[in-house]
Amino acid sequence: MMKYRLLPATLFLILSVFMSAPLQAKTADDPKSKPKVVSLSASNYSSEVKNGLVFVDFWAAWCGPCRKMAPVLDQLAADYKDLLKVGKVNVDNYKKFSIDMGIQALPTIVVYKDGKEMERITGVVSKDDLVKVVEKYSTK
């Protein structure tokens, strides 16, 4: 008798997985849904920041404020995809590089314009504050 009680729940679970699979595949392939966020490493850092306006987010998975900033940066990358590149450096994966870059607090966003560091933003900031930075350096 117990197996019949589990049958509807099991069927629901199976159907929900199959029903959502095509939807996930479609949004994953949709270029509009993918923000331009680049994973950066010590080896590709210089080449990724040398052209245009680039925000580099130094973050860690265990950092609550970093997790809070992630969707804000994703949205910024999507909204300003023609003006801005957003890169992310996981400080746990690149400890020495992060220290060499002078990162002392998380999250830290380093703003580059054509390879030159323009400013650093530390801590949680609003999307509006980041938009002001984009506008400040995209007009110059």
The set of residues, in sequence order, having a beta carbon less than 8 Å from that of 111 and lying 6+ positions away, is: 53, 54, 55, 56, 117, 118, 119, 120, 121, 133, 137
Which pair of tokens denotes residue 97? 């590089």
Per-residue pLDDT, 23: 39
Compute the C-alpha angle 120/71/17, nearest 5°: 155
Residue 28 gets the label, from left (phi > 0), alpha (psi -120 to 50) or beta, of alpha
Residue 117 token pair = 């560091």
Q: Give the model confidence (pLDDT) of 70-108 as tens digits.
A: 999 999 999 999 999 999 999 999 999 999 999 999 999
pLDDT greater than 90 at residue 64: yes
Better pLDDT: 102 or 2: 102
pLDDT above 70: residue 34: no
Query: Considering only 29-43, 61-75, 101-115, 118-132, which range has the smallest mean pLDDT?
Result: 29-43
Instruction: Please state the domain extents for the chain.
Output: 1-33, 37-138
* CATH match of 37-138 with 3.40.30.10: yes
Catalytic residue IDs: 63, 66
